[in-house]
Structure 1
Amino acid sequence: MSTPLLELRNLSKSYNGRPVLANLSWTFRAGEFVAIMGDSGVGKSTLLNLVAGLDTPDAADGSSIIIDGVPMAGLDDDAATRLRRARMGFIFQAFHVLPHLTLLQNVALPLLLNGLPVARAAEMLDAVGLGGRGNDFPHQLSGGEMQRVAIARALVHRPALVLADEPTGNLDPDTAQGILELLRREIKATGACAIMVTHSHIAAEMTDKILQLSKCGIQETTFVQPFEQ
């Protein structure tokens, strides 16, 4: 069995007294490509934000997030930033592509921040179907193209943990298929773990494991339950 890469222990989060996640526990292992599905508003994006360190869990319930055996709560801001920069890749619905940088510069950013050779940036742009457009700027792209830039940037430094929030939401079916195949290849080649929030049954079926998130918690399923849009 592969080693635990991410552990959630009694993870809870409330907003203005309203619980969104309550006592959630699960272990994600190296080499796994996992889909998380569930009704809108059940806390799927909140879960990714907590793991990414963009939000903090409720401390009173003993919530903890452990990455590679390191409790995130025990890290100061600088250490947490270094861990995220080196070990994580993020694909968010809002893209967060930097408008003042070219596509190649956007994709190369994680490599530069981690002191890695930048040649792989052009390779990843080509892998997402944007080869030859490295000198273009984000304002020249469609939403689907910006999503592909964000995916290339998330994978370029070979992170141990990839967090993807609806990564195929702006893509046509054929492009989405290719992107999911790329994501899967990268994960398997590097022994990383990817957690993908998706509403797409087709996307979920390409993963190793489907988890259903509900108000009752999280559980593995081989049948994707109907959910509300």
Structure 2
Amino acid sequence: MTLPADAVAPALECRGLSKRYGSGRIVLAQLDFTLAAGEFVAIMGDSGVGKSTLLNLIAGLDRADGGSVMIDGRAVEQLDDNAATRLRRQKLGFVFQAFHVLPHLTLAQNVALPLLLNDLPGAAALEMLAAVGLGGRGEAFPRELSGGELQRVAIARALVHRPSLILADEPTGNLDPATAHDVLGLFRAQSKATGAATIMVTHSEAAAAVADRVLILSDGGLHAAPAQVGDHVAHAGVRSSDDGR
């Protein structure tokens, strides 16, 4: 794909992406997908269809059998292990269902990890904690927080170094509906505020309702959600505006 000289490269571009399991079963076949800077996309689909596999291929944690993944114009499959690690460290942020907040570190220390790894000033950690509603809690430890607060820490950690791309795998899967509602609105607002493109894998129509668009991954590839699914998602009652209101 050739862009005009004054065009901005997509944050993410997948072309002809294919993956087989060891058994020979095709998980992804010739998948094409482009994500613009600042765009928030939800990917839904049945269990086992390859949603987490897709995230792993994008992050360079697994190798595709064919095709290309471009992040900010760099082909992930052409990078050696060290270069792929640097790309993940600098360009990506991750949010998981299980939070993965380190229990022996304070909240500020948890959020500051990407800054430390990228040789960036650590003061941004406290600013990001305040942005997710945890101002003044930097010296607290994870054991003192609720599940929703822990996910706020995870979101702050994912965004603090201003990555180009956020990959979120069922980020509200461990939260009750009311807490999920609040966290999803915050997640969208903060990802928009930092300009990060975001892919969120979810089974939840309520979660998908915060996205700019919803895609369905199936054996037939990655496609826009059917009208009836899109309508249902649009009326799920969770969508937040870009400023978090």
Same fold, TM-score > 0.5, yes or no = yes
Do the aligned partners of 2:159 and 2:191 also contact (CA within 8 Å) in 1?
Answer: no
**217, 224, 228: which one aligns with 2:229:** 224
Amino acid at match of 1:123: E
* Structure 1 segments unaligned to the other structure (5+ residues): none
Matching of residues 47-196 of structure 1 within 5 Å: 47-58=54-65, 62-196=66-200
Whether the 8 Å contact between 2:60 and 2:77 is mirrored in structure 1 is: no
1:12 aligned to 2:21? no
Contact 1:104–1:134 (Cα < 8 Å) also in 2: yes
Equivalent residue of 2:105, what SS? Answer: coil
Q: Which residue of 1 aligns with 2:45?
A: 38
Give 1:44 deviation, angstroms: 0.8
Is the contact between residue 125 and residue 152 of structure 1 (CA under 8 Å) also seen in structure 2? yes
Equivalent residues of 2:107, 2:141 under 8 A apart: yes
Q: TM-score, normalized by length of structure 1?
A: 0.88
Q: Distance in 2 between matches of 1:140 and 1:180?
A: 22
Is 1:23 matched with 2:30?
yes
Q: 1:42 Cα shift?
A: 0.9
**Cα pair 1:151 1:167 within 8 Å, conserved:** no
Q: Offset of 1:16 from its aligned partner? A: 1.9
The separation in 1 between residues aligned to 2:229 and 2:37, in whole angstroms, is 23
Counterpart of 1:203 (choices 207, 216, 220) is 207
The structure whose RCO (Cα within 8 Å, separation 6+) is larger is 1
Aligned residues: 223
Provide, for residues 21-60 of structure 1, a one-character-per-residue CA deviation record: whole Å limited to 9, x for no partner.
22211111112100000111111111111111222212xx
Residue 8 of structure 1: CA displacement?
1.0
2:74 maps to a residue whose letter is: V
Q: 1:87 to 1:30 in 2, by over 3 A?
A: same
For normalisation by structure 2, the TM-score amounts to 0.82
Whether the 8 Å contact between 2:159 and 2:194 is mirrored in structure 1 is: no
Structure 2, unpaired ranges of 5+: 1-6, 233-245
1:187 and 1:223 map into 2 onto residues whose CA distance is 27
Q: CA shift at 1:141, angstroms?
A: 3.7
Query: How much does 1:162 deviate?
Result: 0.5
Q: Aligned in 2, Cα 1:33/1:199: closer, same or farther, shift over 3 Å?
A: same
TM-superposition CA deviations, 1:101-159 (whole Å, max 9, x none): 11110101111222222222123223333333322333444443332221111011111
CA RMSD of aligned residues (A): 2.1
Q: Distance in 2 between matches of 1:130 and 1:88?
A: 23
Structure 1 counterpart SS, 2:11: strand
Contact 1:2–1:31 at 8 Å: present in 2 too? no
Aligned residue identity for 1:15: Y
**Aligned residue identity for 2:229:** V
